[in-house]
Amino acid sequence: MSAESTKTTTSHWGAFNVTTQGDRIVGVSHFEHDPNPSAIPSSLPAAVHHRTRVAKPSIRESWLKNGPLHKPSRVLRGTDKYIELPWDEALEIAANEITRVKEGHGNDAIYGGSYGWASAGRFHHALGQVHRFLNVTGGYVSSTASYSTAAAQAIIPHVLGMPFLKLMWGEINSWPMIAEHTETLVMFGGVNPKNSQVSMGGVTHHETAGWFEIFKKRGMRRINISPQRGDTPEGAEWLTIKPGTDTAMMLAIAYVLETEGLADQSFLNQYCTGYDKFKPYLTGVSDGVPKSPDWAAAICGVDAKVLYDLAFSMAQSRTLITVAWSLQRAEHGEQPYWMAATLAAMVGQIGLPGGGIGYGYGAIGGIGVSVKRMSGLTFPQLDNPVKKSIPVARIADMLLHPNEPFDFNGQSLHYPDIKLVYWSGGNPFHHHQDLKRLNHAWQQPDTIIVNEPWWTATAKRADIVFPATTSYERHDIGRAEGDSYLFDMPALILPVGEARDDYDIFRGIAKQMGLEEAFTEGRTSEDWLRHLYDNFRANAKQQSIDIPDYDELARQNWVDLPLRGAGFSKTPFADFRSNPDTAPLQTPSGKIEIYSETIASFNYADCPGHPTWLAPSEWLGAEIAKQYPLHLVSPQPGDKLHSQMECAIADVPGQRPAPVSLNPLDALSRNIKTGNVVRVFNDRGSCLARAEINSDIMPGVISLSTGAWYDPDAEGVDQQGNPNVLTKDVGTSRLGQGSSAHSCLVEVTLQKHE
C-alpha cells in the first residue's frame, strides 16, 4: 500500500491540507493559519473521484451521426447517449467544427462562455484559457459583467464615477476602520459570513464572523434589514422586510432626514449634483405621493415609527450603510444601490472613516480586509477581434432572438446569431434563470462544446465534451488580489480517467487548426507558470516586496507576504471630501450624481434619472401574489461554491432534494412539517425540496439555495431542488440587464411524507 502524503493547496474557499494515498485523495484538514476555516473541502475526496467524472472525450450520438445542421436531433440534448472517442479523433472533430463555423459564418457566430470560478489557480484559469484560444482562432462574442453584480456594475459608474469592482475592493471602509469608528451599521440585505467563505482566487483568513464579534464587544449598533435573521451574524437587530422593497424603505428614511432638517445640506451642495431634482419626488411635490414612513410601511412591512427612529439614529451617529449583492439581483436592482448612495450622501458622512456607503460586505471574502493589493500572474488572453458582446445574464435571449435589437446602458444593440458555443469553467444550468427556457434556447446553436470534469447538466447538453482536470490534478500557482498568501498548488494526484488540462485541450485543437504556436508561444504549462511567476516576482521587487523564487516556493508550499494589517486601510473618498475640485469623481459633474442627466437621456421607463421606487412584476404586493403567495429568495449555498462538488453532497442520505426554509405560519397553513418533501412551483416550472421549518425567516418568504444540479423528470419537475427552474429570466432594467432572480413568487404544496 502506498504511503500517505499531505500537502497544502488553495481554492476559492480558502487553503486546506490534502492527504493522498497513491492516486487517490483520502482526506482533508484545515489550514492551521485560517481563524475560521470553511467546511466546504470536506466533500472534496468524494467529488474528485465521483462516478460522474467525465472519463473520456465524448460526442453526442445524434450529433455525431447526423451532423451539426440536423435541427431535429438538438432536442435530444440532455437525454442523448454519448460515444467515447480517442483524444486525437475528438480534437480533430472539434477543430473541424470550429473551422466550419468560422469560415461559414464568421467568428461573431461563436460565443465563448465561462464564468471564472473553475479554479483558484492563476494559470489553469478556465475563463482565461478558453478566451485566449478563441482569440487565437479569430475572436468570439463575449459577455459583460456577472450574474452576481450586473446591475451594480451598470449603475455605480454613473453615480460614483468608478467601476463597481474598483469601488468594492478599493473605496470602502476596511473591517479595522469600521471597528474603530462606526457606531451604527445599517445592513440592507445583511452581511453573511456564509457567503464570505469564498472569494475569487481564494481567501485564506476567513475574518467576517470574527469582526462581528469585535463589533459586538465594542457596543456597535448592528441592524440587519433582511427577510432572514441569519443573513447577519447573531446578535444584530433584525428588521424583517418584504423582498424587493428596500428602495421604498430607504426613501422613507431619506424623507425623514429631509423633512426633519437632518439632511446634511452642506454636503449635498458641495459634493453632490441633482438633489434639487430628486427632492420633489421624495417629498411628493412631483407625483403627489410623499415618500413618508407611513407610505413605505405599507410597501415594505417595516413599522413607520421604526423607520422614523432609524433616520434620527443614522443622522446622529457615525453611520455606515451597507448593501448586499442580493438586492440588485432583482427587477429594478439598480435602484437600491443608487438610493443607498443617495441616502449616505444625505447623512453626509461619505469620506469620513467608518461612515458613508459600502457594497458587498459578506458577499465574498476579501471585501473589507485591510490588505495591500497586488495584481499579476495573469495568463494573457490576447485581443479579441470580435467587438460584439452581450450582458452575461441575457444568454437565453441571445440564442432565442438572433439579430433582434436590445437596449443596454444607453446603447442600442443587436443579438448575434450564434452557431457554436464553447464553454469552459462554469455551469449555466446552475446560475441562469428560468431553466426550462434556457433548455429551449440551448437547442438553437449548431454545436456546443464543453470542457468539464463532471457530467453536469451543462455537459449533458453539449455535443462535444472534453474531460478536464480539477485543480488537484495539475500544478498551478494560487494568488488572490485581496489576500496576503501565495501558494504553490502541487498536482496532488494523476488526472482521473483521461482528463487533460484545459491548456492541453486547447493546445490540441489549436494544433489541428494550425494555430498551436500562436496559442502556446512555444511554451508548455510549466514554462508558462515560470514565465508568469518571474514577471510577478520582478514587479513585487519593484515594490520592495520579497518573494521566493519559483523553485523555493514549491519547496515551501506557501508563503504569507507582508501585505496584511490595519496600516493598509485608507478612508474611502477622503481625497474627494478634502477637495472635490482637485480630486473629482469620474462622473460628468465630478460629483455624486443623485440625478444623472446621462441616465435621464436614455429615456428608460424602468430606470429614470434619479432613484425611484418601481414595483417589480413579482413581489408580495403584486396582483399575482394571490395565486403565488410566497416570495422565493435563492441565496448562495453554504456547503459549496455555486454547484461545485454537488455530486458528492447529493449522495449523502437526506440531502436531496435540497432544503427549503419556511416560516412556521406558512408551514402550518399548508400542513407541512420539517422533513416533508414539498413541491415548489409557479407558471415557469416546479421542483422538489425538503422542508425545514424555522422562525428565522419571515412569513410569506421561503429560501431555497442555488447549487443543486438541474435534473428534471419526464414532466419537467426538477428532482434535486434547483430554484432556477422557478426564477424569471428578465433583465433588471434596460440599463443593467442583470439577473432578476430575486423577483420570484411561488406556491408550496406537500408532495409526500418522509
Q: How does DSSP assign 446-484, residue by residue? A: SEEEEEESB--TTGGG-SEEEEB--GGGS-EEEE-TT-S
Work out the pLDDT band at 387, boundaries 50, 70, 90: very high
Residue 245 in grid coordinates: 422593497
- pLDDT one-digit tens code per residue, 78-137: 999 999 999 999 999 999 999 999 999 999 999 999 887 878 899 999 999 999 999 999
Strands of the 4-9 sheet, one edge to the other: 4-9, 16-21, 24-30
Amino acid at 348: G
For 196, phi and psi rounded to 5 degrees?
Answer: -80, 10
451 φ, ψ (degrees, to nearest 5):
-100, 125
**pLDDT score at 753:** 46
Do residues 196 and 363 touch, judged by C-beta distance below 8 A? yes
Kindly give the interhelix angle for 525-542 and 502-512, rounded to the nearest 10 degrees. 120
Catalytic, out of 13, 82, 111, 117 = 117
Query: Residues 451, 454, 458, 459: what is their CA dihedral angle, to the nearest 10 degrees?
Result: 60
pLDDT at 754: 44
* pLDDT tens-digit map of 189-231: 999 989 999 998 899 999 999 999 999 999 999 999 999 999 9
Nearest-angstrom CA–CA distance, 692 and 435: 24
Contact 179, 207 (CB under 8 A): no
* Strand residue runs (E) in 184-279: 184-188, 221-225, 237-239, 272-273
Among the options 63, 82, 111, 115, which is catalytic? 115
**372 — pLDDT class (breaks 50, 70, 90):** confident
Q: How does residue 405 score in pLDDT terms, banded at 50, 70 and 90?
A: very high
Rg (CA), the chain: 26
Residue 306 dihedral angles phi and psi, to the nearest 5°? -60, -40
Give me the torsion for CA of 336, 342, 343, 349, rounded to 10°.
Answer: 130
Q: DSSP string spanning 606-645?
A: TS-SS------SSSTTSGGGGTS-EEEE-PPPSSSSTTTT
DSSP class of residue 240 equals: -
- pTM for this model (two decimals): 0.97
Give 1: exposed, middle or buried? Use CB within 10 Å, 0-12, 13-18, 19+: exposed
Backbone φ and ψ of 343, nearest 5°: -60, -45
Please say if 117 is a catalytic residue: yes
pLDDT band, residue 1 (cuts 50/70/90)? low
Q: Which amino acid is at 751?
A: Q
Whether pLDDT at 472 is above 80: yes
Tell me what pLDDT residue 752 has: 62
Name the residue among 108, 98, 103, 109 with its Cα closest to residue 133.
98
521 phi and psi, to 5 degrees? 55, 30
Q: How far is it between the farthest Cα atoms of the chain?
A: 81
Which residue has cell 453611520? 319
Which pLDDT does position 492 carry in this prediction? 97
pLDDT-based confidence at residue 374 (cuts at 50, 70, 90): confident
pLDDT tens by residue, 256-286:
999 999 999 999 999 999 999 999 999 999 9
Average pLDDT score over residue span 312-321: 98
Tens of pLDDT along 27-70?
Answer: 999 999 999 999 999 999 999 999 999 999 999 999 999 999 99
- DSSP conformation letters of 43-86: GHHHHHT-TTB--S-EEEHHHHHH-TT-GGGGGGTTT--EEE--
Q: Taking each helix axis from N to C terminus, what angle separates 275-283 and 246-259, rounded to the nearest 10 degrees?
A: 100
Query: Mind listing the pLDDT tens digit for each residue in 473-512?
Result: 999 999 998 899 999 999 999 999 999 999 999 999 999 9
Tell me the CB-side half-sphere exposure of residue 29, using CA atoms within 13 A: 9
pLDDT tens, 603-649?
999 999 999 999 999 999 999 999 999 999 999 999 998 999 999 99
Domains of the chain from N-terminus onward = 1-32 (no CATH), 58-145+379-479+491-522 (3.40.50.740), 150-372+569-602 (3.40.228.10), 623-752 (2.40.40.20)
Q: CB of 644 within 8 A of CB of 716?
A: no
Q: Predicted confidence band at 14 (pLDDT cuts at 50, 70, 90)?
A: very high
Q: Which three cell numbers stand for residue 557?
A: 508550499
Residue 640 CB-half CA count within 13 A:
20
Model confidence at 341: pLDDT above 60: yes
Q: Give catalytic status of residue 325 as yes or no.
A: no
Residue 598, CB-side half-sphere exposure with 13 Å CA sphere: 17
Beta carbons of 395 and 146 less than 8 angstroms apart = no
**Average pLDDT score, the chain:** 96
Q: Is 122 helix (H, G, I), strand (E, B) or coil?
A: coil
**694-724: per-residue pLDDT in tens?**
999 999 999 999 999 999 999 999 999 999 9
Closest Cα to residue 481, out of 323, 362, 638, 364?
Answer: 364
pLDDT in tens, 631-643: 999 999 999 989 9
Cell of 33: 493559519
- Size (the chain), residues: 754
Q: Please count the CA atoms within 13 angstroms of the CA of 286 that sit on its side-chain side.
A: 11
